[in-house]
Amino acid sequence: MKKIILAAAALFLTQTLHAQFKVVAPAGTYGLYAAKEFPAFAAGTTFSFASSSLHLKLYQGYVKNVNALQQRFKELEAEGKADTSEYAELKRRFGWEFNGMRLHELYFTQFGAAPLAENSDLRQALAAQYGSFDAWKKAFLSLTQARGIGWAALVYDRPARRFHNVWINEHDGGVPAGTEVLLVTDLFEHAFLQDFQLEKARYVQAAWGAVNWTVVEKRFAGK
């Protein structure tokens, strides 16, 4: 019964999130972005199939809303209404929806449980900045326990060759301009409530153990 109640709560959170902004792309309009598939995440090996399916459905909603916003921008621009309050507010909303889409894609793609080699360039670069890889790992995992909803991310400032562990508030607050997201952890309640209840630390450990470091290394290499 407890799991049923928590599952219902997770679904309610998802529906409430998207009810805030009801934009639906009309049938037959162009779609710049397509929802992707993430077999390693969807397999149910790290999180339950029910939890993963719900999470993927939420992601698909972001993709749908990004495309709907793009369509509405074109309509307003064609009508000469790019100076209206509607256009301005939708532009402000766009970054939230777009980052909700892209951060989920980055997160889902990094699943697959492949280790980080001891002699990898990424491990050595993190150790050079933080003193050791484990020191960086401790700092990152500590960040994931911050209160609030959002994302913990390792980002890379390529021009300065520096790493930063950052908290991204919701989806669009706290992303340092020009940095590249290498590793990210979803810390909204919908990501862990169904499988882990309020034990966020257990969820983070499960997500950490499922990281495909080959994917993260490729991001660091700019591939």
Q: What is the CATH number of the domain that holds 130?
A: 3.55.40.20
Mark which of 109, 139, 167 sits at the end of a domain: 109
Q: Within this chain, do residues 175 and 127 fall inside the same structural domain, yes or no?
A: yes
Looking at the domain assignment, is residue 114 inside a domain? no
Tell me the average pLDDT of the chain: 89
What is the CA angle 139-145-149, rounded to 5? 125
Q: What is the pLDDT of residues 109-133, one digit of tens each?
A: 999 999 999 999 999 999 999 999 9
| pLDDT at position 168 over 90 | yes
Q: Within this chain, do residues 43 and 75 fall inside the same structural domain, yes or no?
A: yes
35 phi and psi angles, rounded to 5 deg? -65, 135
Give the burial class of 58: count Cβ atoms within 10 A of its Cβ; 0-12 exposed, 13-18 middle, 19 or more buried: buried
CB contact at 8 A, 58 and 91: no
Which of 103, 63, 72 is closest to 90 using CA atoms?
72
| pLDDT at position 107 over 50 | yes
User: How many domains does the structure of the chain reveal?
Assistant: 2
Q: How confident is the model at residue 30 (pLDDT cuts 50, 70, 90)?
A: low
Give, for 182, the enclosing helix (H) or strand (E): strand 180-186
| pLDDT at position 11 over 80 | no
Which of 216, 153, 149, 211 is closest to 179 using CA atoms?
153
Q: What is the pLDDT of residue 133?
A: 98
Q: Within this chain, do residues 157 and 209 fall inside the same structural domain, yes or no?
A: yes
Looking at the domain assignment, is residue 76 inside a domain? yes
Which of 193, 209, 47 is closest to 137 using CA atoms?
209
Mean pLDDT check: name the lowest of 1-5, 33-37, 72-76, 142-146: 1-5
Q: Within this chain, do residues 105 and 132 fall inside the same structural domain, yes or no?
A: no
Q: How confident is the model at residue 32 (pLDDT cuts 50, 70, 90)?
A: confident
Compute the distance between CA of residue 121 and CA of residue 74 in angstroms, rounded to an integer. Answer: 44
Which domain does 47 fall in, by range? 2-109
Using a pLDDT cut of 90, give the percent of the chain over it: 83
Q: Within this chain, do residues 180 and 156 fall inside the same structural domain, yes or no?
A: yes
Q: How confident is the model at residue 13 (pLDDT cuts 50, 70, 90)?
A: very low
Q: What is the pLDDT of residue 110?
A: 98
Strand partners, 169: 150, 173
